[in-house]
Amino acid sequence: MLKNRSLSFFALAVTSVLLLNGCLKKKEAAVQVVQKPHVTVEKAGYKSYTERFNFPGRIDAVNSVTLKARVAGFLKDRLFEEGDIVKKGQILFVLEREPFEAQVAEAAANLAKAEADAKNAKLNLDRALELRKTGNISQSTVDTREAENSVAKGQVLQAQAALNLAKLDLGYTNIKAPFTGKIGLSAYSVGEYLPVNTTLATMVSFDPIYVLFSVSERELLSMQKAGMLKSNNDSLAVSLIMGDSSVYRYGGQINFTDVVVDDSTDTVKMRAVFPNPAKQLVSGQFVSVLLEYEAPEEKIVISQAALMSSASSKYVYVVDAQNKVVNKPVSVGAEQGKDIVVLDGLEAGDRVIVTGLQKVRPGQEVIIDAMPAAKLTPAAPADKTKEKTTAAAPAKKASAKTAAPAKK
C-alpha cells in the first residue's frame, strides 16, 4: 500500500515537471515572437531634387559715405530732414560763404597784380634786348631783366593757383549728396562752428543693395561641383528669408566670391545683390540667404530620419529580402527639407528603415509596419514657397505605398 502511494506520488511529480517545462518552452517561444521589433521603411528611389544651401547674411549698402566738412566755418543752413531720400548733387549743408568769397576776391586781385608785373617785366626785357644790340647796356643788365621776367611769370602761375584754391574752398561751402540715397542724423545744428574734416552725417544707397555671407570650404566645393556658381546661371535662385520667416519678394544674384579663405573661420566670403525699390532692406540688417539650384539630374533621396552617424562614417539600416537588418554605409549630399540626397551606397528599391532604428541591430529579423499617413509626404520647409519643393512629394508617396503590403 505504501509502495503504491510512493509510485503515485513520483508519477505525479514527474508529470508536473513535464507540464511545467512545456509551459516554459511555450512562454519562451512567445517571448521570442514578441521581441521581433517593428519598424517602418521607405523605398529608396530616384527623385527630382533641388540643391539648397542656407546661410546667415547681413545687408550692406552698395554705397555708404560719411559726409565731412572740407573747410572750416559756421553752418549757415541744413537743407534736408533727417532720414530723407536725397538725390545725387542735392545741396545738404551750407557754410557761411562770405569769408571764402573774400578770399576769392583777394586771390583774383593778386592774380591781376601778378599779371601786370609780368607784363611790365616782359617790356623791360624786350627794351633791354634792343639796347644790347646797339651796345648801350651791358649783358649783365639783360640777364637781370630775363630773371625778373621769369620770376614774374612764376608769380602769375602762383597767383592763378591761389585763385583756383580759393574757388574750390568756396565751392566746399555747399556740401552735396555724392549719390542718391538715404541720409541719417545730422551731427551739427545751424550756427555751430564746423572744424575741418568733421563728420556731418552718414549717407547710404538703398537700391540695389548687397547681402554679405560666408560659406565653408566644403559648401563652396559642393556648390562648384553642382555648377551653381557659373556666370549667368538661370537655374540658380537666390532669395532672402527675413527675420519673421517671410520670403523677400525679389530674387537676387551672386555677384562676388572672394579669392581667399579666411584663416580664422575657414570660410569664403560671398556677396549677392538684390533690388530694393521699397527700401525694405536696411544696411546692417540680418537675414538668411537661401540658394536653390534645380539640378539637371535625379538622385536618390531618403528621409533624414533614416541617417545615422558613427565616428568615421554615415550609414543607414536596410531590410533585405529575408526581412533582416543590413548596415549600409552611405555618402550624402545636400539636405532637402526633411530629406537628404544620397550620393553613394544605396540602390533604387532598397527598403530603408525610417522609424524603430533604436530597437534593431544588423542581422536581426524585423516586422515591417506601414508608414503612418502623416509621414508619407514631408512637410515643406517654412522658407520654401516655390514649386521646386513639391517635386519630391509624389515619389515619396509612391515609396510609402510600396511599403504598405509588407505588413500583410
Between CA 67 and CA 70 the distance in angstroms is 9
pLDDT in tens, 125-174: 888 887 878 878 888 888 888 898 898 889 999 999 999 999 999 999 99
**171 in a structural domain:** yes
Does 343 lie in the same domain as 316?
yes
**Residue 222: which domain range?**
54-62+205-294
Between CA 268 and CA 270 the distance in angstroms is 6
Could you tell me if 57 and 289 are in contact, meaning their C-beta atoms sit under 8 angstroms apart? Answer: yes
Closest C-alpha to 63, from 232, 217, 177: 177
Mean pLDDT across the stretch 276-296?
A: 84
pLDDT in tens, 296-342: 567 788 888 888 888 888 899 999 989 898 999 998 877 767 888 88
Does 94 lie in the same domain as 190?
yes
Does 143 lie in the same domain as 98?
yes
Does 179 lie in the same domain as 134?
yes
Q: Quick one: cell of 256?
A: 562676388
**387 in a structural domain:** yes
Report whether pLDDT(363) > 60: yes
Does 166 lie in the same domain as 122?
yes
Q: How confident is the model at residue 253 (pLDDT cuts 50, 70, 90)?
A: confident
167 by Cβ neighbours in 10 Å (0-12 / 13-18 / 19+) ranks as middle
**10 in a structural domain:** no
Q: Which residue has the higher pLDDT, 297 or 392?
A: 297
Does 310 lie in the same domain as 278?
no
Instruction: List the CATH number of the domain containing 274.
Output: 2.40.30.170
Question: Who contacts 12 (Cβ-Cβ below 8 Å, separation ≥6)?
Answer: none
Q: How confident is the model at residue 403 (pLDDT cuts 50, 70, 90)?
A: very low
Give the orientation angle of helix 139-171 with respect to helix 98-134, to 10 degrees: 160
Does 170 lie in the same domain as 131?
yes
Q: Which residue has the higher pLDDT, 165 or 221?
A: 165
Q: Quick one: cell of 339?
A: 530629406
Q: How confident is the model at residue 53 (pLDDT cuts 50, 70, 90)?
A: confident
Q: How confident is the model at residue 108 (pLDDT cuts 50, 70, 90)?
A: very high
Q: Domain count for the chain, please give it.
A: 3
Mean pLDDT across the stretch 93-99?
A: 92
Q: Which residue has the higher pLDDT, 396 or 268?
A: 268
**21 in a structural domain:** no
Phi and psi (nearest 5°) for 273?
Answer: -120, 135
Tell me which of 71-75, 233-237, 262-266, 366-370 is least confident.
233-237
Mean pLDDT across the stretch 264-289?
A: 89
Does 191 lie in the same domain as 127?
yes
Does 233 lie in the same domain as 281?
yes
pLDDT of residue 16: 59
**91 in a structural domain:** yes
Mean pLDDT rounded to a whole number for the chain: 79
**Mapping DSSP to helix (H, G, I), strand (E, B) and coil, where does residue 180 land?**
coil
Does 169 lie in the same domain as 211?
no
pLDDT of residue 201: 92
Closest C-alpha to 99, from 51, 33, 170: 170
Does 256 lie in the same domain as 169?
no
Beta strands in 247-394 (DSSP E): 253-257, 267-274, 286-294, 299-303, 308-309, 314-319, 325-336, 339-344, 351-355, 367-369
**223 in a structural domain:** yes
- Given 246, 273, 294, the domain boundary residue is 294
Q: How confident is the model at residue 92 (pLDDT cuts 50, 70, 90)?
A: very high
**80 in a structural domain:** no
**14 in a structural domain:** no
Could you tell me if 76 and 98 are in contact, meaning their C-beta atoms sit under 8 angstroms apart? Answer: no
- Given 171, 198, 225, the domain boundary residue is 198
Does 389 lie in the same domain as 315?
yes
- Given 234, 269, 294, the domain boundary residue is 294
Highest mean pLDDT among 7-11, 125-129, 177-181: 177-181
Q: Which residue has the higher pLDDT, 288 or 230?
A: 288
Instruction: List the CATH number of the domain containing 372.
Output: 2.40.420.20
